[in-house]
A and B are shown apart, each in its own frame.
Chain A
């Protein structure tokens, strides 16, 4: 099971954090800080795996990938395959890339809720749901479309719609 998905920049600022078991806000911060301090102490060009028992309890593994200014981090237990998890990060990034065309940290920062939408289509309740970025994109686009549609109907302020109606 996947325990957490995190994105943070190289200065340790969290950009997205999703935990599939509940942790208090303080604990979450502690975990994010802990993960970051481990990550930033690792040299380049070494393996992407880490045993992270000390933070997440026994049987916890971490896979991370460093893209430009961002770390993508997955924490999971022994029932997942490390290399496959590395590819799951790849799926996530590919999807984001399709989503934002040339994704960068800014996209992630400014599209906070969309990030969650994308992530929810890939990982669901701690299990891998979908690994095809095309499928994920399709789902996300469906959601955007429907949301936009419902938005157009009901989110127009009343004053405006009245004005329009005239």
Chain B
């Protein structure tokens, strides 16, 4: 704070109005303002805390001092330091009779305490008393505290008083009482459920402000329970009509708009009430149409109402006329220079696209501009829009864009969101499995730790299942391409764990399947992974299992297995691992290496992750063994049902129970009721199991045949028969079939209903649109993008992309057609019509004038760095204060004396306290001989809100 340093204390004292503070507080603020580092600031605040602690403990602190201390406490707490040692003093201050002190006390406690704080109990009584006070300011202060400090338990203590206040003489009090009730409703709906009718009644309050306040709780109530408020639709429509017809007192106008905040709330409520309700919607057509006509789109607030209308129309069942109006408003928004309005336009598009899907097409270029805008907010909104309008014809472009953006941002929160959207779109609309795998790879590579583990398992399943039953060749190609892509990626540093798991699994299953890569090459890579990510046990587990599969395939095919030295050392390391899981896997691997080809093949058959495993529920393979046991004198097994018939024969029952167990020595009571489902467990494992268990699958010793089947069954968890496929096989299939056989135009034509591609051919003869002519040099790249996004007839970028897959891309000859799909739009006569930043209305100017001066002031101090002395001069409200330099005032002068300002000054003289000063300054400036000639438009823009 350069300015603070030089500003005199007197000056600061002079500007404090009736809320004076002491020298100490000003010193504190000033020294904090001057501090150069956070550490210095902390030091100052800590010493301040010491001082306050001491002072608060002094006996007989004068009340005025105490108030001062409390304000200082609030201040240091805002700076992030604990001021709890003084809370009690703030609480005490609420008890004071003096209004100023009481209000200060309430201010402090509302900022300090939360509703469950222990000290609240000391305040409730005071609040109760103050709510009954004759002084409405006391009541207001208490209501303010009520909103913040009353919790569910204390609501009954103040509820009667608050309800009484609904009929208070002052409308300000009534308003606040309604809002306090609203707050109660939010905190604990049950506590005020019997009072809900009050809100309805207050809708008819004589004061429009109170009525407006009532809309807030009603909005909440209606969003919870639409049906029971349907009767109010006509009242709301009536109110809105009256408001728009300026039936309210002038004092409710804001920037020449009649009560805009009330209008917005009403529109929100009506959107709730009329959603999906034809008759209610119809009641609103008139007033909505009026709004579109009446709203002044040159002011911010006018646009706010227009936007609210669009939102409302997207919720109700609209008439075609209203849709047109909304579309027109949107196109105005999109053509505006203001980013805020563009944002609103994109948002509106996103809402309306649900109702009429072709609405976005006429704005394709605007949308693409927004996509490339430096404004992140706008970009995200646009991605949201794209997400909503994705279909199989444009999914590639959109997902590519999304991924590019995903890679470019650091914000993990949003990265997660956009990654999951990419995955969702890819799963839903993927044109080919190959593409799907590529997209997944990118997502995993750049946001692997942020995506759901399910996604990984879906990907593995896709690779394992491939295209389908009949096309083995394509399957193999797919797998090979997956393996190749993974071998490329695998050596990159710091891959996300989840991605490595997928890579390991795929390499294990299919790394050697094609014969292109040798087992030792793949296993070397896998060892590298296990080495490089030695702290990640999951990845290691996957890698070891993959190694095991590779060796198993080698052994099964009769080749001699050379275990690489690094593999050997890895296995040895894992044999001693602390993780029992890794240990188990290592032992299994070791055991497997010593088995013969036939056994190995039955343990880990090639590419069998998707095969059904026949689970022998009856365990018939044990029959011989049982026979043998019975022959050698064991009791035959009696099932539980049979057993329960003969419960009394306990001894028999004991021995029967464990017929399988060769050693008869161990029999305990606890074994009495074995679960009958034990043998059927493997079959349960066939169901797609929640993935985490895949990793921690139960491992059985490898030596017995039963355990082999067990192991197989757990291995097979990727087998997901009968589960609904996620990536929309039907749509994908239809698209490929169309692409392979039909020429592009026809393909588009057939799907006109979904992507509107047919427009191109029908409108190809139209002259280029005015939008086009206005911007003659539209980047052809953009046009191509537009075409591919919006289902235009052609896109060479897309055809480039797709040339490898020989897909359904259009011929290049039609490349300039999408231009014709841009609708005819008359050029905007007033280009900045919508830019509310421009000072179009005098009232705007009048209202914010001082900020210009402020800005000019800051500007100047920025320009000349140390020239803050003159800032002081300017800052002073005394116009005769000497302005010491001229350079720094220049910017201020220029705007003060330009012609438009002149008129404004005249109009302003009656309006506010500032005009006189401004004129005086102006005069001063002229006196000094500076005659600024041009206005400074950027300043204007900045300053006028």
Contacts and interface: CB of A to CB of B under 8 A. Distances in A.
B247 to A, nearest CB: 17
A22 B254 contact: no
A81 B264 contact: yes
A118 B851 CA distance: 18
A51 B377 contact: yes
A59 interface: no
A126 B183 CA distance: 9
A151 B16 contact: no
B29 interface: yes
Contact of A106 (B4, B97, B340): B4
Given A43-B374, A94-B847, A98-B912, A81 B307 contact: yes
Contacts of A109: 4, 29, 33
Interface in B4-24: 4, 7, 12, 15-19, 21
Given A48-B340, A51-B414, 19 more contacts: A25-B81, A32-B80, A47-B338, A47-B378, A83-B344, A84-B304, A86-B945, A93-B848, A93-B945, A107-B15, A110-B12, A113-B107, A116-B107, A125-B147, A125-B179, A126-B147, A129-B179, A142-B137, A154-B97
A45 to B, nearest CB: 7
Contacts of B339: 45-48
Interface in A59-100: 65-69, 79, 81-84, 86-87, 89-91, 93-94, 97-100
A131 B261 contact: yes
Contacts of B17: 99-100, 111, 114, 144
Contact of B18 (A17, A148, A154, A155): A148
A151 B301 contact: no
Contact of B115 (A22, A89, A133, A154): A22
A81 B137 CA distance: 30
Nearest to B113: A22
Interface of A: 1, 9, 11, 13-14, 16-18, 20, 22, 25-26, 28-29, 32, 42-43, 45-51, 53-54, 65-69, 79, 81-84, 86-87, 89-91, 93-94, 97-107, 109-114, 116-117, 120, 124-135, 139, 142-144, 146-148, 150-151, 154-155, 157
Contacts of B373: 46
Contacts of B144: 120, 124-125
A86 B300 contact: yes
Contacts of B175: 124, 129
A80 B449 CA distance: 34
Nearest to A61: B377
Given A26-B80, A48-B340, A151-B100, A128 B148 contact: no
A163 to B, nearest CB: 16
B301 A84 contact: yes
A11 B216 CA distance: 36
B378 A112 contact: no
Contact of B342 (A11, A47, A148): A47
Given A84-B304, A102-B914, A151 B98 contact: yes
7 contacts: A14-B79, A81-B307, A84-B304, A110-B15, A110-B26, A113-B104, A147-B18
A79 B219 CA distance: 9
A82 B180 CA distance: 24
B111 A18 contact: yes
Interface stretch (B70-78, B225-233, B631-639): B70-78
Contact of B854 (A13, A17, A49, A68): A68
B430 to A, nearest CB: 28
Interface of B: 1, 3-4, 7, 12, 15-19, 21, 26, 29, 32-33, 62-64, 71, 74-75, 77-82, 97-100, 103-104, 107, 111, 114-115, 135, 137, 144, 147-148, 172, 175-176, 179-180, 182-183, 186, 209, 213, 216, 219, 251-255, 260-261, 264, 268, 300-301, 303-304, 307-308, 338-340, 342-344, 373-378, 380, 411, 413-414, 847-848, 850-851, 853-855, 857-858, 875, 877, 912-914, 917, 941-943, 945
A129 B923 CA distance: 40
Q: Which of A53, A68, A82, A114 has the most CB of B within 10 A?
A: A68
Contacts of A103: 850-851, 854
A67 B855 contact: yes
A94 B848 contact: yes
Q: Which of A18, A69, A125, A151 has the most CB of B within 10 A?
A: A125
B457 to A, nearest CB: 27
A70 to B, nearest CB: 9
B831 to A, nearest CB: 16
A124 B100 contact: no
A47 B375 contact: yes
Given A45-B339, A109-B33, A28 B179 contact: no
Nearest to A11: B1
B413 A53 contact: yes
Contact of A146 (B7, B80, B137, B180): B137
A112 B75 contact: yes
A8 to B, nearest CB: 10
Closest 10 CB pairs of A and B: A83-B304, A125-B147, A22-B114, A47-B339, A46-B375, A54-B413, A29-B80, A102-B850, A147-B100, A114-B19
Nearest to B384: A51
A124 B380 CA distance: 31
A166 to B, nearest CB: 21
Given A84-B261, A84-B264, A101 B917 contact: yes
A82 B377 CA distance: 13
A79 to B, nearest CB: 7
A124 B145 CA distance: 10
A127 B216 contact: yes
A97 B917 CA distance: 13
Contacts of B375: 42-43, 46-47
A94 B114 CA distance: 31
A68 B21 contact: no
Contacts of A143: 103, 137
Contacts of A28: 78, 80
A3 B99 CA distance: 28
A57 to B, nearest CB: 11
Nearest to B260: A84
A62 B818 CA distance: 37
B414 to A, nearest CB: 7
Given A67-B855, A79-B268, A113-B19, A46 B377 contact: yes
Contact of A82 (B344, B850, B858, B917): B344
Contacts of A83: 300-301, 303-304, 307, 340, 344
B158 to A, nearest CB: 14
A90 B261 contact: no
Contacts of B18: 114, 144, 147-148
Contacts of B1: 9, 11, 13, 105
A84 B299 CA distance: 11
Nearest to A88: B261
B99 A132 contact: no
Contact of B98 (A43, A94, A154): A154
Contact of B209 (A53, A94, A130): A130
Contact of A50 (B81, B183, B377): B377
